[in-house]
């Protein structure tokens, strides 16, 4: 796989939707391309997060520690970014990621991603827009949930 | 030390000086005949009559007589120039020997200074004194007596001739001498004073430059560059002023000399002319006198310039020597004596006072006793006199009143050969010498050469010459190549045991881990230690097997394989399947190696690599041209740094335009090739590596092996069964590359290597390999903590009867506490003085002496 294919994959990630191609190429170039065989951990809940993962192929289980042991709460899909919360704000990993099958992942380190944001404000804007959209949706969901709770 | 230059010269070279004089005198007749012969040839042989002439009982006709005289002339030319050559070499050699003697004497005097004296002198001043300032003395010494004698003799002969012609004219010839003899020294005196000033000023400049270099971090941290620049600039102006004045005076002297010398003919013409007209002098005599005067001018001029040089060199000598004669300098015996008194018994201070010359560096009227074989803490904050007491106990400084004893012996009466061997002192400010860790560890055992190397043939001859030269100049004859490590003193019987003991102590001071890491990163020469190399190779095999058999490990490493492309290694490694034998050669230099150039052009890889390089450069330009230089992205990810960007922009532009002229230069091509060499396909996913290209690269390996590696020693091929000296031990253990596309592969594989190394008992030899690590200038490649620990091990290895530590291992951490326990164990049964500022730490010791403001405030 070359940069070009990685750029294709990045383009499908919603977060990088409106960003032009050369910047995506730069992002791809400064990220590490890593492979994870099935069963290997990408990260563990509670540890400090120093990078985000962009999944090019394969899938990972999202596991959360509960009093009854680890519990699968979701599964990541191709062309999605996970762990980006950790590189935007300093919080520990909120979940454990374990590869389900052989995965192909682009790892972006926190420092490099922040440098990139500083360097190209339009990427920041795009990231902001995506996060705002998510927040808006979450707020709406919350409101709906509250209404549902009040109505019942 | 001899205060005057001439006394120094005469004392150490009177015999040689007399010899030079004799040979000079011997050359007089030769020179005289050489001057006479042309006259004889013209007058006697060419224009003469009365042939045949009889010479030594043989008769010669005119032509044979001419031939005889001419050949005699030729012979004398050879002899006189030969003598000159011989004399010059002799003088040069004498000068060099005297210079060597002087320099060594000065250095030895530096070693004889008492410690407090070093508060007053700086290395920035001492170094130029020993090196450059005395340089002129060497050139002068050979001439010191011969030149005045020879030229003076010439002068007297010529003067005698003039006086014999006419006393009055003789007086005229020397009329200017008294004036010159009076005026010139007057002017010269001022020049001498200026010269001294200049020397001192230059020393100050040297000192300031030296200080700026040592404190360069401070300069930047405080933005004090302007201040220092102004300071130096000021000194340089001072230097200019002094030099300018010296020039003025010097040329004034020259002007006066020339004027006076030409004034004399004026008197000749006036007085001589008058005498001739009056009929009191023949015209022939006047002409002869004028001719003689011309010959007079030469020696006189030389004598005057000799006088100036003498004044100059003498003042240089004096300004140097006066700095090396402090009143309280130690006897030479203190350094050179090899007498080793066994220091057993209690450490005892009898009403000892000492002052280091500043407040907080003094101790007053101290009496104490530390019984032999016991450990005692000396407690007190900095400035309490703690360090002074410990230095007094080590014999490093001498009490101004009172006495320090160990057993029966007054430390002040002992020499370095006792103090430095019987006492181990490690102070707060340790010094680590440039050299290897081994050099530094065993430094405390290197007192005298012990086992001389066996020498034969040429080597022996050279050595004998070195010894005789050393004797000639009163230098020491210690053999640097000898074995200096005093195994007996360390309590071991062989070098292996010494290494083991050092390792044991390194473990005790918790430094072995650091040295193990240094050892892994170091290179070693397998020819020095076959078994070690074999062990490494067996670990390599063991590791390779595990990597093949355990899939979890296998995914972390790409091993070197003759027929496989290694995506985690650079293109250069893949193509050559070898590394340059000289580890100093960087990737940027590889394309310029002659073998590589030929290989690349023969295989057609030069074009391909340049294309790859071009593609890389283009991509980099495209990716990074909009990135600002200070973001740091460029430096850490691009092949190209910010400064090189415009350069590659040009190269890409030229290459793209397809112009034949000017086209790419060879250097540009090398740069592109170098760029391609650095490509690691798994990391830089630029899409330039096709499967086809990989095949070609693998194919080319064999040609490189056959064509280059086997024929020249400049590359070493990757071979699983061979130790590769240019690679570090770590890279030799892991015969491959940790995969760059697996997270933490490097760290995880390192853990595995460490485990295997421990299992196979390789840890020890790797640490020994770490002993060969070069610590840099004054240990700059070690951390401050590592330097202290190395100094501590150095002190412990001496196995001395008395060990004195000052401000070492005085941390409150658990590690330091364990270290102190270890030290007490190691030094059990020996006298041990431990200096610390902390009362809690002191409480770990059975005995304590508390100091406050230079006095003992408490004992316990």
Q: HEC string of B846-858?
A: CEEEEEECCEEEE
Q: Do A33 and B627 touch (CB under 8 A)?
A: no
Q: Angle CA(B631)–CA(B637)–CA(B642) in degrees, nearest 5?
A: 55
Smallest CA–CA distance, residue A27 to chain B, in Å, is 9
3-state SS of B392-438 is HHCCCCCCCEEEEEECCEEHHHCCHHHHHHHEEEECCCCCCCCCEHH
pLDDT beyond 70 at A150: no
Token couple for B209: 């430059």
Residue B627: closest C-alpha in chain A: A119
pLDDT tens digits, B683-722: 888 878 888 888 888 888 888 888 888 888 888 888 888 8
pLDDT tens digits, B209-231: 989 998 999 999 999 999 999 99
Q: Do A4 and B742 touch (CB under 8 A)?
A: no
The whole-angstrom separation of Cα A55 and Cα A10 is: 9
Task: Grade residue A79 by pLDDT with cuts at 50, 70 and 90.
Answer: confident
Q: Which of B623, B637, B743 sits opposite A22 (nearest CB)?
A: B623
The whole-angstrom separation of Cα B722 and Cα B730 is: 14
Q: Which of B628, B687, B740 sits opposite A4 (nearest CB)?
A: B687
Higher pLDDT, B39 or B762: B762
Chain B positions touching A120 (Cβ under 8 A) are 626
pLDDT beyond 90 at B102: yes
List the single range of B199-203, B288-292, B848-852 with lowest mean pLDDT.
Answer: B288-292
Chain B positions touching A119 (Cβ under 8 A) are 627-628, 631, 633
Whether A22 contacts chain B with CB within 8 A? yes
Residue A25: closest C-alpha in chain B: B623
- Of all residues in chain B, the percent with pLDDT exceeding 90 is 34
In terms of residues, how long is chain B? 860
Phi and psi torsions of A127, nearest 5°? -60, -45
Task: Grade residue B75 by pLDDT with cuts at 50, 70 and 90.
Answer: very high
pLDDT beyond 70 at B638: no
pLDDT at B762: 87
Phi-psi map region of B372: left, alpha, beta (phi>0 left; psi -120 to 50 alpha): beta
pLDDT beyond 90 at B586: no
pLDDT at B257: 85
pLDDT beyond 80 at B292: no
Q: Which of the residues B627, B639, B680, B684 would you substitute to probe the A interface, choosing the one with the greatest number of A C-beta atoms within 10 Å? A: B627
pLDDT at B824: 92
Tokens 């490493």 appear where? B557
Residue A39: closest C-alpha in chain B: B552
pLDDT at B687: 79
Q: Do B741 and A34 touch (CB under 8 A)?
A: yes
Residue B631: closest C-alpha in chain A: A115
Token couple for B149: 């004698």
Task: Grade residue A1 by pLDDT with cuts at 50, 70 and 90.
Answer: low
pLDDT at B634: 64
Chain B positions touching A26 (Cβ under 8 A) are 623-624, 627, 633
Q: Stretch B341-361: mean pLDDT, rounded?
A: 87
pLDDT at B760: 86
Q: Please, which residues bridge with residue A52 across strands?
A: A108
Q: Stretch B342-358: mean pLDDT, rounded?
A: 89
Q: Stretch B509-524: mean pLDDT, rounded?
A: 88
Task: Grade residue B382 by pLDDT with cuts at 50, 70 and 90.
Answer: confident
Residue B308 CB neighbours (<10 A): 19
pLDDT beyond 90 at A6: no
Whether A10 contacts chain B with CB within 8 A? no
CATH code linked to domain A3-151: 2.60.120.10
pLDDT beyond 60 at A152: no
Decide if B718 contacts B544 (C-beta within 8 A): no
pLDDT beyond 80 at B633: no
pLDDT tens digits, B140-184: 998 888 889 888 888 887 788 778 877 877 787 787 888 888 888
pLDDT at B461: 94
List the single range of A105-109, B135-139, B656-660 with lowest mean pLDDT.
Answer: B656-660
Residue A26: closest C-alpha in chain B: B623
Task: Grade residue A151 by pLDDT with cuts at 50, 70 and 90.
Answer: low
Q: Which of B632, B682, B686 sits opposite A3 (nearest CB)?
A: B686
Q: Do A33 and B741 touch (CB under 8 A)?
A: yes
Q: Stretch B377-386: mean pLDDT, rounded?
A: 90
How far is CA B847 from each of CA B395, B432, B838, B841, B859, rounded to the nearest angstrom?
Answer: 22, 31, 14, 12, 8
SS3 content of chain B, % helix, strand, coil (to 5): 65, 10, 25
Phi and psi torsions of B354, nearest 5°? -155, 145
pLDDT at B221: 94
Higher pLDDT, B161 or B616: B616
Query: Would you call A71 helix, strand, or coil by DSSP?
Result: strand
Chain A positions touching B623 (Cβ under 8 A) are 22, 25-26, 29
Q: Stretch B103-130: mean pLDDT, rounded?
A: 90
- Within 46-105 of A, beta carbons closer than 8 Å to B belong to none
pLDDT tens digits, B725-771: 888 888 888 888 888 888 778 888 888 888 888 888 888 889 998 99
List the single range of B10-14, B33-37, B452-456, B791-795 with lowest mean pLDDT.
Answer: B33-37
Smallest CA–CA distance, residue B637 to chain A, in Å, is 6
3-state SS of B499-516 is HHHHHHHHHHCCCHHHHH
List the single range of A94-103, B43-52, B140-149, B795-804 with lowest mean pLDDT.
Answer: B43-52
Q: Which of the residues A26, A106, A121 would you substitute to probe the B interface, choosing the one with the greatest number of B C-beta atoms within 10 Å? A: A26
How far is CA B701 from each of CA B509, B567, B575, B721, rounded to the nearest angstrom?
Answer: 48, 15, 6, 18
Q: Stretch B627-652: mean pLDDT, rounded?
A: 74
Q: Which of B632, B636, B685 sits opposite A3 (nearest CB)?
A: B685
Q: Stretch A87-104: mean pLDDT, rounded?
A: 86
Residue A115: closest C-alpha in chain B: B631
Chain A positions touching B624 (Cβ under 8 A) are 26
pLDDT tens digits, B406-433: 999 999 999 999 999 999 999 888 999 9
Tokens 């002052």 appear where? B355
Task: Grade residue B256 by pLDDT with cuts at 50, 70 and 90.
Answer: confident
Dihedral angle of Cα B559, B561, B563, B564, to the nearest 10 degrees: 10
pLDDT beyond 70 at B247: yes
pLDDT beyond 80 at B658: no
Smallest CA–CA distance, residue A23 to chain B, in Å, is 7
Sign of the Cα pseudo-torsion (B121, B123, B124, B126, in order): positive
Task: Grade residue B660 by pLDDT with cuts at 50, 70 and 90.
Answer: low
Is residue B490 within a helix (H) or strand (E), and if so which, with residue range? helix B487-490
Chain A positions touching B686 (Cβ under 8 A) are 2-3
pLDDT beyond 80 at B632: no
Q: Angle CA(B690)–CA(B592)–CA(B633) in degrees, nearest 5?
A: 60
pLDDT at B299: 85
pLDDT at B714: 85
Domains and CATH numbers, chain B: 5-324 (1.20.1560.10), 343-443+777-859 (3.40.50.300)
The whole-angstrom separation of Cα B268 and Cα B168 is: 10
Smallest CA–CA distance, residue A37 to chain B, in Å, is 9
Return mean pLDDT, chain B.
88
Dihedral angle of Cα B578, B699, B738, B735, to the nearest 10 degrees: -50
Decide if B707 contacts B716 (C-beta within 8 A): no
pLDDT beyond 60 at B807: yes
Name the residue ranges covered by the structural domains of chain A: 3-151
Smallest CA–CA distance, residue A48 to chain B, in Å, is 15
Whether A34 contacts chain B with CB within 8 A? yes
- Using a CB–CB cut-off of 8 Å, the residues of B that contact A are 555, 619, 622-624, 626-628, 631-633, 636-637, 682-687, 740-743
List the single range of B45-49, B320-324, B369-373, B453-457 with lowest mean pLDDT.
Answer: B45-49
Dihedral angle of Cα B629, B631, B634, B636, to the nearest 10 degrees: 140
The whole-angstrom separation of Cα B432 and Cα B441 is: 9
Q: Which of B627, B683, B685 sits opposite A1 (nearest CB)?
A: B685
Q: Do B741 and A116 touch (CB under 8 A)?
A: no
pLDDT tens digits, B808-846: 888 888 888 889 999 999 999 999 999 999 888 988 898
Q: Which of B555, B631, B685 sits opposite A37 (nearest CB)?
A: B555
């Amino acid at each position: 796989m070359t940069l070009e294919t990685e750029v294709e994959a990045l383009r499908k990630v919603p977060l990088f939707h409106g960003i032009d191609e050369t910047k995506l190429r730069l992002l791809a170039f400064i990220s590490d391309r890593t492979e994870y065989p099935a069963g290997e951990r990408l990260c563990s809940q509670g540890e400090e997060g120093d990078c985000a993962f962009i999944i090019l192929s394969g899938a990972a289980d999202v596991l959360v520690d509960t009093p009854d042991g680890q519990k699968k709460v979701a599964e990541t899909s191709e062309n999605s970014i996970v762990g980006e919360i950790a590189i935007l704000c300093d919080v520990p990993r909120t979940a454990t990621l374990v590869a389900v099958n052989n995965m192909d992942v682009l790892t972006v380190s926190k420092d490099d991603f922040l440098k990139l944001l500083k360097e190209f404000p339009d990427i920041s804007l795009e990231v902001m827009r995506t996060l705002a959209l998510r927040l808006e949706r979450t707020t709406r969901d919350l409101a709906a949930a509250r209404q549902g709770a009040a109505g019942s | 030390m001899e205060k005057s230059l001439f006394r120094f010269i005469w004392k150490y070279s009177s015999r040689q000086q007399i010899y030079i004089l004799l040979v000079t005198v011997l050359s007089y007749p030769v020179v005289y005949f050489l001057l006479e012969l042309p006259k004889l040839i013209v007058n006697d042989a060419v224009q003469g009559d009365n042939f045949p002439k009889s010479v030594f009982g043989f008769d010669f006709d005119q032509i044979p007589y001419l031939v005889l005289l001419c050949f005699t002339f030729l012979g004398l030319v050879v002899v006189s120039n030969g003598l000159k050559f011989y004399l010059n070499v002799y003088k040069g050699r004498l000068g060099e020997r005297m210079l060597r003697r002087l320099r060594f004497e000065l250095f030895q005097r530096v070693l004889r200074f008492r410690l407090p004296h070093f508060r007053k002198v700086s290395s920035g001043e001492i170094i130029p004194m020993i090196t450059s300032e005395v340089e002129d003395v060497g050139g002068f010494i050979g001439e010191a007596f011969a030149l005045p004698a020879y030229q003076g003799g010439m002068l007297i002969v010529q003067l005698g001739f003039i006086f014999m012609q006419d006393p009055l004219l003789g007086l005229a010839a020397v009329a200017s001498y008294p004036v010159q003899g009076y005026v010139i020294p007057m002017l010269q005196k001022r020049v001498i004073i200026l010269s001294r000033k200049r020397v001192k000023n230059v020393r100050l400049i040297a000192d300031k430059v030296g200080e700026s270099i040592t404190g360069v971090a401070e300069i930047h941290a405080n933005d004090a560059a302007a201040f220092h620049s102004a300071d130096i600039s000021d000194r340089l102006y001072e230097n200019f002023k002094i030099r300018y004045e010296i020039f003025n005076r010097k040329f004034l002297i020259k002007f006066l000399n020339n004027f006076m010398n030409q004034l004399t003919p004026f008197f000749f013409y006036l007085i001589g002319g008058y005498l001739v007209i009056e009929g009191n002098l023949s015209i022939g005599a006047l002409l002869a006198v004028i001719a003689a005067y011309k010959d007079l001018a030469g020696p006189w001029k030389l004598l005057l310039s000799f006088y100036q040089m003498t004044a100059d060199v003498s003042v240089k000598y004096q300004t140097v020597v006066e700095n090396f004669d402090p009143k309280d300098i130690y006897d030479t015996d203190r350094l050179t004596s090899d007498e080793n008194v066994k220091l057993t018994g209690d450490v005892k201070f009898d009403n000892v006072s000492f002052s280091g010359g500043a407040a907080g560096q003094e101790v007053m009227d101290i009496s104490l006793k530390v019984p032999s074989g016991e450990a005692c803490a000396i407690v007190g904050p900095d400035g309490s006199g703690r360090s002074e007491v410990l230095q007094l106990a080590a014999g490093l400084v001498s009490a101004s009143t009172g006495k320090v004893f160990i057993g029966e012996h007054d430390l002040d009466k002992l020499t370095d050969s006792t103090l430095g061997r019987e006492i181990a002192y490690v102070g707060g400010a340790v010094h680590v010498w440039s050299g290897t860790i081994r050099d530094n560890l065993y430094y405390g055992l290197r007192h005298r050469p012990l086992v001389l190397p066996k020498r034969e043939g040429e080597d022996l001859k050279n050595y004998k010459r070195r010894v005789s030269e050393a004797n000639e100049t009163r230098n020491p004859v210690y053999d640097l190549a000898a074995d200096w490590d005093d195994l007996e003193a360390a309590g071991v019987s062989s070098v292996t045991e010494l290494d083991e003991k050092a390792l044991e102590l390194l473990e005790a001071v918790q430094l072995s881990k650091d040295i193990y890491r240094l050892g892994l990163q170091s290179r070693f020469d397998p020819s020095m230690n076959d078994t070690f190399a074999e062990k490494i190779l067996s670990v390599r095999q063991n590791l390779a097997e595990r990597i093949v058999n355990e899939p979890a490990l296998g995914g972390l490493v790409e091993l070197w394989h003759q027929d496989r492309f290694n995506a985690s290694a650079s293109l250069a490694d893949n193509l050559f399947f070898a590394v340059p034998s000289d580890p100093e050669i960087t990737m940027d230099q590889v394309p310029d190696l002659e073998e590589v150039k030929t290989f690349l052009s023969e295989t057609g890889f030069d074009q391909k690599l340049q294309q790859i390089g071009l593609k890389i450069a283009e991509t980099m330009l495209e990716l990074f041209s909009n990135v600002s230089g200070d973001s740091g992205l460029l430096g850490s990810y691009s092949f190209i740094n910010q400064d090189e960007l415009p350069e590659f922009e040009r190269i890409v532009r030229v290459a793209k335009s397809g112009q034949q002229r000017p086209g790419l230069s060879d250097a540009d091509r090398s740069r592109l090739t170098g760029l391609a060499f650095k490509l690691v396909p798994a990391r830089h996913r630029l899409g330039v590596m096709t499967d086809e290209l990989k095949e070609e690269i693998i194919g080319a390996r064999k040609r490189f092996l056959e064509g280059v590696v086997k024929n020249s020693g400049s590359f070493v091929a990757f071979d699983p069964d061979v130790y590769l000296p240019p690679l570090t031990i770590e890279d030799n253990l892991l015969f491959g590359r940790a995969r760059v596309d697996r997270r933490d592969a490097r760290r995880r594989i390192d853990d595995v290597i460490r485990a295997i190394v421990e299992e196979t008992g390789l840890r020890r030899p790797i640490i020994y390999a770490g002993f060969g690590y070069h610590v840099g200038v004054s240990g700059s490649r070690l951390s401050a903590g590592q330097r202290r620990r190395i100094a501590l091990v150095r002190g412990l290895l001496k196995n001395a009867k008395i060990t004195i530590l000052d401000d070492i291992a005085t941390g409150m951490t658990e590690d330091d506490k364990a270290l102190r326990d270890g030290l007490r164990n190691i030094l059990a049964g020996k006298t041990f003085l431990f200096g610390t500022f902390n009362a809690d730490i002191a409480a770990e010791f059975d005995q304590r002496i508390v100091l406050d403001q230079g006095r003992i405030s408490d004992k316990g």
